[in-house]
């Protein structure tokens, strides 16, 4: 009996991701929508990475960071969408404990990394607009690699702390997660002990990875706006603004939804609001980023045409 009790204590059951099960008709629509957006995310971000690597004209700091952003979006959405599609496509809403742990660690690490990377990209835009003559000297390849590595390592560090603290909480048999993803806030709600420390730690991490980067971005764009207003020619101002508009659009979309999810008091929003906000930044935002950069960026479109032309010529030669 002792051995049986120890086996039961070490057995870790999975979770039930309720997701959108309250809306059975909506699930069918969401399945088609999510699958379509996932395909476009893979296609769009893969194109951004390939074009940035294959076109020599795009081997600049801006596109170096853009490639990292596309890689982040590819991995981030892939850590969430496959399980979401399984849950939307059939009656089985379960996820194994191991699957939940992997999803928690990976999605949090990638999301935190993107928060820092977008701040790094704003610094790149600041140097490009405010110090154009020194741009190549300041944003040298070694600094770009250091900044990108810092973003990735900071994401890994925060998920090791947050996810580990969350998974140490006793859930006391609570398995029904009223969400479609294993996230820190929803798992904390399952705990059957006082979670004041975890809530405080989550708030501190949210400030570090949301408020601090956003403040840095706002400061960068404050200097950029001042520099743009000093440009006398309208064409010069338009060109300077064009170098920043795509990044600024991505920042507004990404941080707007994330801040709503993590910094708004939990009691002030409904459970359905949290689900749809999470759906937006896990499924919609990753497909918007490549669209914004390709539709608003002449260099990316020119590079894409060049790469496609090269592929077409190779096919014709064969």
The whole-number pLDDT of residue 65 equals 93
| C-alpha span between 107 and 210 (Å, rounded) | 16
Structural domains counted in the chain: 1
Strands 94-95 and 176-177: unpaired
Please state, in angstroms and as integers, the Cα–Cα distance from residue 59 to each residue in 55, 140, 170, 275, following that order.
Answer: 7, 12, 49, 38
Q: Which DSSP symbol is given to 72?
A: H
Burial 156-168 (b: 16+ CB within 10 A, else e): eebbeebbebbbe
Owning domain of residue 36: 2-317
pTM of the model: 0.84
The whole-number pLDDT of residue 248 equals 81
CATH number at residue 81: 1.20.1070.10
pLDDT average per 10 residues of sequence, the chain (318 residues): 41 76 83 93 89 81 91 93 88 87 93 93 90 90 95 94 91 83 88 88 88 91 86 75 76 80 58 75 85 68 66 60
């Amino acid at each position: 009996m002792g051995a049986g009790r120890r086996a039961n204590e070490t057995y870790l059951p999975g979770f039930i991701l309720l997701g959108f099960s309250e809306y059975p008709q909506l699930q069918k629509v969401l399945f088609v929508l999510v699958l379509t957006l996932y395909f476009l995310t893979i296609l769009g971000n893969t194109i951004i990475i390939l074009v940035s690597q294959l076109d020599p004209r795009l081997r600049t700091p801006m596109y170096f960071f853009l490639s990292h952003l596309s890689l982040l979006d590819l991995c981030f959405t892939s850590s969430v969408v496959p399980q979401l599609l399984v849950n939307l496509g059939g009656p089985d809403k379960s996820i194994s404990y191991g699957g939940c742990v992997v999803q928690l660690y990976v999605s949090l690490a990638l999301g935190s990394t993107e928060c820092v990377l977008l701040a790094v990209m704003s610094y790149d835009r600041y140097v490009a607009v405010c110090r154009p003559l020194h741009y190549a000297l300041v944003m040298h390849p070694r600094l770009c690699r250091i900044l990108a590595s810092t973003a990735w390592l900071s994401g890994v560090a925060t998920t090791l702390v947050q996810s580990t603290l969350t998974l140490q909480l006793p859930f006391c048999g609570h398995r029904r997660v009223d969400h479609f993803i294993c996230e820190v806030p929803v798992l904390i709600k399952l705990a059957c002990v006082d979670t004041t420390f975890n809530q405080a730690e989550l708030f501190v991490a949210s400030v570090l990875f949301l408020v601090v980067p956003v403040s840095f971005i706002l400061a960068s764009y404050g200097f950029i706006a001042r520099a743009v207003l000093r440009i006398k020619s309208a064409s010069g101002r338009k060109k300077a603004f064009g170098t920043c508009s795509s990044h600024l659009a991505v920042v507004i979309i990404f941080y707007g939804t994330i801040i709503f999810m993590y910094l708004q008091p939990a009691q002030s929003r409904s459970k359905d609001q949290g689900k749809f906000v999470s759906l937006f930044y896990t499924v919609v935002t990753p497909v918007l980023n490549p669209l914004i950069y390709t539709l608003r960026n002449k260099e990316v479109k020119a590079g894409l045409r060049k790469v496609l032309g090269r592929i077409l010529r190779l096919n014709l030669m064969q």
